[in-house]
A and B are shown apart, each in its own frame.
Chain A
C-alpha cells in the first residue's frame, strides 16, 4: 500500500507542475499531454466492473503523452456533471469516459451539449446518430458470447441439471447474460434450468452470499453472477464445494477447485483505439461494439474441473464466434412465460439493437423480470 501511495506522490508532483503550467502562458518544450478523465460509479478496486475499467486506465497511463485523471464512487446524480465539468475546467481533460450506465442520460448528454469541443465516450449507452450530440458516443462489449461459453462448460459440468445466476437488477444487459448463459447450457442438455435470484442492487455482499446459499440448498451445482464484484459469490460457492463461472475479471485465484471458466472484459483494447484516434487528431468512433472477435472480451483459462469433452465443445463454439459465424439469439426462441420472442428463421446477430433492449428470460430460466 505504501508503494501505491508513493506512486501517487510522484503523480502529484507531475500534476501540480502541469497545473502551474496550465496557468502560465509558456509551457515548456513538452507538448501538452492528452488529458483523459475516467469516472467510476464504485470503488475502483472492487474486483469487478470498476476494476476492469481502472486496469485499462492503468495501461493507458503508460502511453507517452497521455495523462489520466480518475474519480471513483461518483453517484449517478448531478455530482457526475460536476465531476465532468471539474475535469474539463480544472484538469484540462479533453476526452472523458463516464463508465457507468446511469451517467449517460441526462448527465453526460447535458455536459456534451455544454462542452462541444470535448469528446465523451460512454460505456454501455445506446448512442444513436442524429439523436445524441456528435461529440458523444458509446462502447460496449458482447460479453454474452463469453456467458454462452460459460453456459456450455457449466452445462457439461453440472450433475443436477440446475444452474444458478445471482443478478443485481433485471435490466437488458443482465437479462442478456442470463439468457446467453442458459442457452449455452441448453445446447449441451436441453432440460437444464437456470435459477436466477435478483439481489436488488449492484453491491450487496450479504445478500449475494444468501442468494448463493439458497440456490445451493435447492440443488444448484454451478453458479455465476452479474453483480459489481463477483468475489462473494465465487468464494461462497467454493466453500460449499460447487462450481463457478467468473465475471468481469478472472477470479480463478478465489476458487482454485471449483472455478470452471469466466467472462472477462478487455477494455484496454477499446480505450487504446480511442486514444490513438485522438492523438491522430481525429474524433474517436461514436458507436463501438465488439465481442471475442474484436478482442473486447475474453474467457478465463479453464479450471481443473472442466472435462476434455466440455473444453472441446466450448472451444468449437468459440472458434465459430472468433470467425464471426455464431449467432446466440435465433428463432425459434420462447421466453419462460411461453411467449415466442424470436420467431423461427430470425437471427438476431450481435449488432441487432433489439438485443440491447432485451426484456425477457428464455425458457428454462426460473425467475421473473419484475
Chain B
C-alpha cells in the first residue's frame, strides 16, 4: 500500500463520506413526508416531486447562472405539487395513497418531458463547506466536504421535531393528524392545516431534488433518482414519524449504500450485487428486530390513512390505533 491509499480504513471512511454525500435527499424527503404524515395525510408521490425538483433546479441554475435560485424554484415547484396533492385529496372519497402514486407518475413524466434540453449542458453547482481543513489526509478532507443543504437538512429535522413538540402550530398539526373530531371541536380548519403541511412537505422534497441535480451527483438525467424518493417515504414509517429519527435513518441508509463501492475499491469484489442490497436488508432487519405486534404502530398519527371512514378500521393487535395505511379505496 503506497502513501496515496489508506487501505481498509477507506471502508468506514467511505461509509461516513457516503452518509454525508448520499443522505441529503433522503433527509429532505423523509422530514417533509414526516410533517405531512403528522398532519394525517400520506403523500407517496414525493418521488415525482424529487425528480421535478431536480429538473427545475437544474434548468433554473442553467438559465440564470445561480444554483441557489435553482434551489428556490425547486422548493416552489415542490410546494405546488404538494398543494396539488393536498387539494385533490381534500375532495371527499379520494384515496391519498392512490393519488400519490398517480402524481408520482405525472411528475416524473413531466420532469422527463420538460427536462430533455437540460441533459447535456453543464449548470453551475452548489458549493461545499470544507470541514476537513484540520486534516492532512486528502481522503478525510474529501469526505468532509459538506454541502450547505446537508446542514440545512439536519437543522430542519431538529427544528421540525422541536416545533411539533412545543409550538402551538405543531400542536395543531398533530391534532389534525391524531383526531379530526378533536381538531374540529376546537375550531381548527383541518383541511387548511393538511394543505399547508403537505405543501411544505412537498417543498422539502423539491429541495432534496435540487441537491441531486446541483450538488451530488450534480447533473440532470433521467436515471437521477431511481426510487430514492419512494424509499425516503418508506423511511418515515421506519423512523416512526419522528423527524430526528428520520435524520438518523437517512444517514444510516446513505452509509449502507456506500458499502458496495467502498468494498470494491479495497478489492472485496465478489458478490457486489448482494452488497448493493445492503441498505434494504439492513432496514428490513432493523424493522423486524425493533417491531413487535403490540407496538407496531407506536407513533403513528391516528388519522393517517383514515379515508374519512365512519367506523374506525382497527388492525388486530394494535389496540386503539388505526392501521397507518388504508384498506381498499372504498369509502364505506
Partners in one complex: yes
Residues of A at under 8 Å CB distance from B?
1, 4, 42-43, 45-47, 160-162, 195-200, 203-211, 213-219, 221, 229, 231-232, 235-236, 239-240, 253-254, 366-368, 370
A367 to B267, CA, bound (A): 6
Q: Are A216 and B221 in contact (CB under 8 A)?
A: no
Taken residue by residue from 2 to 46, chain B's Cβ proximity to chain A (1 for < 8 Å, 0 otherwise) reads as 101110001001100110011000000000000000000000000
Contact of A162 among B5, B6, B22, B269 (CB under 8 A): B5
Contact of B257 among A197, A210, A253, A368 (CB under 8 A): A210
B269: chain A residues within 8 A (beta carbon): 196, 198, 366-368
A231 to B258, CA, bound (A): 20
Q: Interface size on B (CB < 8 Å)?
A: 46
Instruction: Please judge, given known A-B contacts A198-B272, A219-B2, A366-B269, whether A214 and B261 are in contact too, CB under 8 Å.
Output: yes
Contact of A370 among B5, B22, B258, B270 (CB under 8 A): B270
Task: Please tell me which stretch of B67-75, B113-121, B185-193 contacts chain A, meaning at least 4 of its Cβ atoms lie within 8 angstroms of it.
Answer: B113-121
Q: How far is the CB of B14 from chain A (nearest CB, A)?
A: 5
Instruction: Please judge, given known A-B contacts A47-B119, A207-B261, A209-B217, whether A214 and B10 are in contact too, CB under 8 Å.
Output: yes
- New A-B pairs, 4, CB < 8 Å, besides A43-B221, A217-B143: A4-B117, A214-B10, A219-B4, A232-B218
Q: Are A197 and B217 in contact (CB under 8 A)?
A: no
Instruction: Please judge, given known A-B contacts A214-B262, A217-B6, whether A205 and B221 are in contact too, CB under 8 Å.
Output: yes
B224: chain A residues within 8 A (beta carbon): 205-206
Q: Are A236 and B217 in contact (CB under 8 A)?
A: yes
Q: How far is the CB of B326 from chain A (nearest CB, A)?
A: 32
A6 to B273, CA, bound (A): 44
A205 to B57, CA, bound (A): 17
A160: chain B residues within 8 A (beta carbon): 2, 4-5
A66 to B21, CA, bound (A): 49
A231 to B217, CA, bound (A): 10
A-B pairs with the 7 shortest C-beta distances? A219-B4, A203-B223, A209-B217, A214-B265, A219-B5, A368-B269, A214-B261
Q: How far is the CB of A176 from chain B (nearest CB, A)?
A: 18
Residues of B at under 8 Å CB distance from A?
2, 4-6, 10, 13-14, 17-18, 21-22, 112, 116-117, 119-120, 122, 125, 139, 142-143, 212, 216-219, 221-224, 226, 228, 257-258, 260-262, 264-267, 269-270, 272-273, 276
Q: Are A239 and B120 in contact (CB under 8 A)?
A: no
B139: chain A residues within 8 A (beta carbon): 216-217
Q: Are B6 and A218 in contact (CB under 8 A)?
A: yes
A210 to B272, CA, bound (A): 14
- Total A-B pairs, Cβ < 8 A: 136
Instruction: Please judge, given known A-B contacts A160-B4, A200-B272, A219-B2, whether A213 and B221 are in contact too, CB under 8 Å.
Output: no
Instruction: Please judge, given known A-B contacts A160-B4, A195-B265, whether A43 and B117 are in contact too, CB under 8 Å.
Output: no
Q: Are A235 and B219 in contact (CB under 8 A)?
A: yes
B116: chain A residues within 8 A (beta carbon): 1, 4, 43, 45
Main SS at interface, chain A: mixed
Q: Are B219 and A43 in contact (CB under 8 A)?
A: no
B265: chain A residues within 8 A (beta carbon): 195, 197, 211, 214-215, 217-218
Q: Are A367 and B217 in contact (CB under 8 A)?
A: no
Q: Are B217 and A206 in contact (CB under 8 A)?
A: yes
Instruction: Please judge, given known A-B contacts A198-B264, A253-B122, whether A162 and B4 are in contact too, CB under 8 Å.
Output: yes
A196: chain B residues within 8 A (beta carbon): 264, 269
Q: Are A203 and B221 in contact (CB under 8 A)?
A: yes
Contact of B117 among A1, A42, A208, A231 (CB under 8 A): A1
Q: Are B5 and A218 in contact (CB under 8 A)?
A: yes
Q: Are A45 and B219 in contact (CB under 8 A)?
A: no
Instruction: Please judge, given known A-B contacts A160-B4, A205-B224, A218-B266, whether A210 and B258 are in contact too, CB under 8 Å.
Output: yes
Report the nearest A residue to B273, measured CB to CB: A200
A203 to B226, CA, bound (A): 9
Q: How far is the CB of A211 from chain B (nearest CB, A)?
A: 4
B143: chain A residues within 8 A (beta carbon): 217
Q: How far is the CB of B188 from chain A (nearest CB, A)?
A: 41
Report the nearest B residue to A1, measured CB to CB: B117
Q: Are B217 and A217 in contact (CB under 8 A)?
A: no
Contact of A240 among B18, B142, B261, B262 (CB under 8 A): B142
Instruction: Please judge, given known A-B contacts A209-B217, A219-B2, A219-B5, whether A47 and B270 are in contact too, CB under 8 Å.
Output: no
A161 to B273, CA, bound (A): 28
Report the nearest B residue to A198, measured CB to CB: B272
A42 to B222, CA, bound (A): 9
Q: Are B142 and A210 in contact (CB under 8 A)?
A: no
